[in-house]
Structure formats: C-alpha cells, structure tokens
C-alpha cells in the first residue's frame, strides 16, 4: 500500500514538471535575440585625448561615436508583434537640456541620437523607458539593427579641472534596451555600457567654430546607368562647411566616417536606412582630390589630416560630394554621416 502511494506521488510530480516545461518553452522561443549571440551588454567609448576649446559654450560637441546592435525576432502566434523601449541610467542636465550626465563634477555628458528615427533621446533615469521606434506588428520573423549616435559634450566649466577618476578610465552602465513581445509581455533586456580608457582633457585655444550645427547635403538622383562599373562616379554636388575663425594659428582638418569610425579609405560607409547597394559616397577637396577618412582626433599629424589654411583667412571647408560605384549598382536611397575635427597648429 505504501509503495503504491509513493508511485502515484512520483507520477503526479513528473506530470506536473513536464507540464511546466511545456508551458515555458513557447514563451522562451518567442523572444528576440541580439547579435552577437548571448551578448548581455554592448559598449561605446571615446578617444583618450579630448581637446576642449577655451571658453567653449555648454553643449559643445567634443567627440562623436556610433553604435549598432543587431537583433533578430522569431515568428509569433499573435499579430500584436513587438515593441522597442530604451532608457538611460544617467541624469538630465540643467545646463544643457536633453543632454545626460553621470557626475556633474566631471563637466562632460552625452547626447544620444536615435539613428533609426533621427530623434534625440533625452529620457533620463527619472523618466524611465521611452519608445525607440514604432512597434512592429505581424507574425513573420524579422531582423534589423538598433543604431545610435552618441556625442560627448561639454556641460559646464568643471571640464577645465576634471576629477582624477577620469584619468583612471570609465566603466559605467549607461542604459538598457528591451524588445518586448506584445502578446506575452516577455522582454529580452540588454545593457549599454560606457566603457572608456583614460580620458585626458586638454584646453586648446579657440580659433574656429562652425557657423551651423549641421551641414546637410542633398545629392540629386541619378540613373544607375551612369554608374556602369566599379570606380564610376556621378552626381557631383559642391558644398561648404561654414567656419568663423580668429587669426593667429594654422588650421588642419580630419573627416571621420561616423558609420564606421575605423574607416581610413576615401569612400564613406552607407549609413543605416540606406537601401541602395553597389554604391558609396565620396568627398573631394578642391582640385578633385578624394578625402580619406581618419580618427576623430585633433592631434597634430592625425591620420589623413590635411592643411586647411591660416585661421585669419579660413571661412569654411569647401568639399564636393559624389556617388561612386563599388559593384553592380542597385537603385535605392544613399545616406552617409561624417564629422570634421579641426586641429590648431
């Protein structure tokens, strides 16, 4: 009699365990994954040496980086789809609204731009999660990238006497991203870390400033037949990055590919949102000289830095943008992001 009761107890327990596993499996299967697989955090950082112009306005951009997080979502049984949410663990700056900081005594903060929508993400720790982009509905699987532009900015004059902790490097939990199954409310979170080596802040004499915060360049549409083979170019569009400079020094400049900061070629990587293929963008200096990209640094002799002119007569950076074929061209949109860094020598 005793043995019979024990067997029933074991059978019921196994049955209950199998039911629990059966219920848990579909929920786990319907959550998104990030690339690379099993990553629980993604990291960004800035160059070690940061030059800050003397008397720079609060909000001045000191360095720029980009970050992309790949994701893949499985098919679902519900058409309610998925939601995308982001939050920062930093605080909102009073001196530069919309920018975020970890410690105001550092004098620096960050500005986050959502490259999937073009929106500046200013939700701080107190605000909590905010929508990153519109929900994705339907039952079909899909994948993509979450694309960030992160700028290091001056928040206040404490930057001119930074605390010793900055020289030791930073390893800070900056934010969190979640992709949420709208049917089960299961979220797969991933951390975003500000992982930086030593930060050396150096005050530099201010000689030039950009006359506009951004210089958008709209190239005309061209037929793919005008780009018949690799190396073919079309659609030349001259433009000028306006500068206002004071005399007294020589000005050098480096262009950096924001979609691929390590790019040192003369072809600008297509930015997220581009749909064309077999084509890239190229920038030319006066005389038709292709510009090669380099690191975001104002150090003298920086890779692919070139001489712009004496500061007393420099009024801008004259450039020409063009399409260049890299293979069989497929029609679509072409977008590129580049920044410039001036060096006073």
- The answer to whether 263 and 295 have CB atoms below 8 angstroms apart is no
Please, what is the average pLDDT of the chain?
86
For position 13, what pLDDT does the model report? 40
**Do 44 and 176 reside in the same domain of the chain?**
yes
Higher pLDDT among residues 12 and 84, named by residue: 84
For position 202, what pLDDT does the model report? 83
**Do 62 and 194 reside in the same domain of the chain?**
yes
- The answer to whether 81 and 136 have CB atoms below 8 angstroms apart is yes
Relative to beta strand 49-53, strand 200-204 is parallel
Give 24's Cβ-side CA count (13 Å radius).
6
pTM, whole model, 2 decimals?
0.62
For position 30, what pLDDT does the model report? 73
Q: How confident is the model at residue 334 (pLDDT cuts 50, 70, 90)?
A: very high
Phi, psi of 19, deg, nearest 5: -65, -40
Q: Which two tokens stand for residue 20?
A: 């629990």
Mean pLDDT computed over 318-345: 93
Alpha-helical (H) ranges within 227-268 are none
Mean pLDDT computed over 132-157: 94
What residues does 227 pair with on adjacent strands? none
Could you give the CA distance from residue 318 to residue 246 in angstroms, rounded to a whole number? 18
Structural domain includes residue 9: no
Q: Using the predicted structure, report yes or no on whether residue 23 has a pLDDT greater than 80.
A: no
**Do 183 and 288 reside in the same domain of the chain?**
no
Tens digits of per-residue pLDDT, 253-302?
999 999 999 999 999 999 998 999 999 999 999 999 999 999 998 878 89
Domain boundary among 185, 204, 223: 204
Q: How confident is the model at residue 8 (pLDDT cuts 50, 70, 90)?
A: very low
Domain region containing 307: 208-344
Mean pLDDT computed over 9-23: 38
**Do 113 and 131 reside in the same domain of the chain?**
yes
% of the chain beyond a pLDDT of 90: 60
**Do 57 and 191 reside in the same domain of the chain?**
yes
Q: Which two tokens stand for residue 111?
A: 């500005």
CATH number of the domain that residue 165 is part of: 2.60.40
The number of folded domains in the chain is 2
What residues does 277 pair with on adjacent strands? 330
For position 10, what pLDDT does the model report? 38
Q: Which two tokens stand for residue 155?
A: 């928040």
Could you give the CA distance from residue 3 to residue 14 in angstroms, rounded to a whole number? 17
Q: 3-state class of 115 per DSSP?
A: coil
Length of the chain: 345
Structural domain includes residue 14: no
Tens digits of per-residue pLDDT, 79-115?
999 999 999 999 999 888 889 988 888 899 999 999 9
In this structure, the number of other CB atoms found within 10 A of the CB of residue 26 comes to 11
Mean pLDDT computed over 115-121: 94
For position 206, what pLDDT does the model report? 63
Q: Which two tokens stand for residue 171?
A: 């390893």
**Do 107 and 82 reside in the same domain of the chain?**
yes
DSSP 15: H
**Do 155 and 260 reside in the same domain of the chain?**
no
Could you give the CA distance from residue 159 to residue 48 in angstroms, rounded to a whole number? 15
Closest among 290, 292, 45, 261 to 150, alpha carbons compared:
45
Tens digits of per-residue pLDDT, 194-249?
999 888 888 876 678 888 888 999 999 999 999 999 999 999 999 999 998 887 77
Structural domain includes residue 23: no
**Do 130 and 228 reside in the same domain of the chain?**
no
Structural domain includes residue 136: yes
83, 214, 216 from 296: Cα distances, Å: 34, 17, 20
Find the distance separating the first CA and the last CA of the chain, reported in whole Å: 95
């Amino acid at each position: 009699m005793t043995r019979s009761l024990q067997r029933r107890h074991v059978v019921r327990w196994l049955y209950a365990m199998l039911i629990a596993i059966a219920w848990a499996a579909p929920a786990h299967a319907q959550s998104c994954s990030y690339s690379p697989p099993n990553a629980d955090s993604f990291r960004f950082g800035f160059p070690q040496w940061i030059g800050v112009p003397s008397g720079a306005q609060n909000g001045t951009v000191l360095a720029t980086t980009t970050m992309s997080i790949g994701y893949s979502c499985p098919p679902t049984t519900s058409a309610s789809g998925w939601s995308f949410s982001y939050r920062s663990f930093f605080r909102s700056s009073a001196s530069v609204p919309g920018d975020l900081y970890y410690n105001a005594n550092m004098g620096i903060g960050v500005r986050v731009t959502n490259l999937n929508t073009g929106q500046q993400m200013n939700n701080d720790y107190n605000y909590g999660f905010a929508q990153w982009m519109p929900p994705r509905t339907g039952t079909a699987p899909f994948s993509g990238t979450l694309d960030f532009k992160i700028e290091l900015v001056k928040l206040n004059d404490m930057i001119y006497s930074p605390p010793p902790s900055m020289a030791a490097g930073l390893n800070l939990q900056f934010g969190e991203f979640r992709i949420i199954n709208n049917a089960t409310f299961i979220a797969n979170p991933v951390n975003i870390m500000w992982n930086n080596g030593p930060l050396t802040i150096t005050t530099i004499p201010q000689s030039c400033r950009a006359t506009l915060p951004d210089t958008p360049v709209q190239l005309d549409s061209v037929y793919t037949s005008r780009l018949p083979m690799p190396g073919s170019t079309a659609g030349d569009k001259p433009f000028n990055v306006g500068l206002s400079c004071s005399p007294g020094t020589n000005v050098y400049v480096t262009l950096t590919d924001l979609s691929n900061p390590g790019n040192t070629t003369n072809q600008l990587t297509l930015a997220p949102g581009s749909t064309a293929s077999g084509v890239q963008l190229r920038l030319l200096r006066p005389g038709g000289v292709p510009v090669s990209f380099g690191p975001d640094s104002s150090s003298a002799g920086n890779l692919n830095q070139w001489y712009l002119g004496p500061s007393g007569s420099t009024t801008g950076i004259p450039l020409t943008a063009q399409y260049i074929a890299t293979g069989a061209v497929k029609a679509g949109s072409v977008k590129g992001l580049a920044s410039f860094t001036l060096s006073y020598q």
